[in-house]
């Protein structure tokens, strides 16, 4: 299994500090794209399948853990800092070990909850499922969110389907190889405001 992400320079990290001191030269977007294209070619030659924008595996070795996020599956997190998701809300436990245990012993609340609106759930489903090889299932969109959301998605996707950034097959909309390079842009324009 192989995971590969474009390099980001996060404040507070060693690489960010080295960049600020001019010990490193920032990789340009064009360089990053060329490196990603090379990765795609090398991974394929080595027998790895790209099953998500940033993840590759030999057949049968997809990450089960991460696949649940991308497939919009329910999951439960146990312990400090753990996250849970039930399709309607997201929950996360406090991170401090001592405080976490103390609250459990006292019967106090040890987590926070974010209730997700229908629009947020729709947008998140697009964001996660479109990153995968299978893409977003249009039948699921219609069943889970109704015709209004389905029609809005199809209207917003039309231009990307026409210029070959997306394609439709077996009731799924998927990113083309060309579309993967601008996936965040495409997905953001498919979102409902």
Q: What is the Cα–Cα distance from 154 to 67, expressed in whole angstroms?
A: 25
Query: How far is the C-alpha of 115 from the C-alpha of 14, rounded, in Å?
Result: 36
Element at 6 (helix H, strand E): none
Mean pLDDT value across the chain:
93
- Phi/psi of residue 167, each to 5°? -140, 155
In sequence order, the β-bridge partners of residue 93 are: 111
Return the closest-CA partner of residue 161 out of 152, 173, 171, 170: 173
User: What pLDDT band is residue 73 in, cutting at 50, 70 and 90?
Assistant: confident
Q: For Cα atoms 153, 187, 168, give the angle at the middle one, nearest 5 degrees.
A: 55
- For residue 72, pLDDT over 90 is answered with no
Q: Which pLDDT value is given to residue 101?
A: 95
- The rounded Cα 118 to chain-centroid distance in angstroms is 18
Contact 24, 77 (CB under 8 A): no
The pLDDT-based confidence of 70 (bands split at 50, 70, 90) is confident
In terms of Cβ atoms closer than 10 Å to its own Cβ (0-12, 13-18, 19+), residue 60 is exposed
d(CA 169, CA 98): 51
- Cα–Cα dist 55/183, whole Å: 14
pLDDT at 67 > cutoff 90: no
Give the confidence band of 154 by pLDDT, cuts at 50, 70, 90: very high
Beta-carbon neighbour count of residue 134 at 10 Å?
Answer: 15
pLDDT at 168: 97
For residue 6, pLDDT over 90 is answered with no
Edge-to-edge strands, sheet with 111-115 = 83-85, 89-93, 111-115
């Amino acid at each position: 299994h192989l995971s590969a992400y474009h390099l980001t320079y996060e404040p507070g990290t060693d690489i960010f500090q080295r960049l600020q001191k001019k010990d490193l030269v920032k990789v340009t977007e064009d360089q990053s794209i060329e490196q990603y294209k090379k990765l795609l070619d090398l991974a394929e030659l080595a027998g790895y399948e790209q099953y998500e924008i940033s993840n590759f595996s030999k057949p049968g070795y997809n990450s089960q853990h991460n696949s649940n996020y991308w497939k919009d599956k329910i999951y439960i997190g146990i312990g400090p800092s753990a996250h849970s998701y039930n399709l309607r809300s997201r929950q996360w436990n406090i991170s401090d070990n001592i405080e976490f245990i103390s609250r459990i012993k006292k019967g106090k609340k040890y987590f926070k909850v974010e209730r997700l609106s229908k629009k947020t759930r729709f947008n998140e489903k697009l964001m996660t499922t479109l990153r995968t090889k299978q893409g977003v299932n249009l039948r699921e969109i219609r069943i889970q969110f109704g015709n209004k959301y389905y029609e809005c998605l199809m209207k917003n996707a039309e231009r990307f389907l026409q210029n070959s950034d997306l394609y439709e097959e077996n009731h799924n909309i998927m990113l083309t190889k060309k579309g993967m390079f601008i996936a965040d842009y495409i997905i953001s324009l498919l979102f409902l405001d």
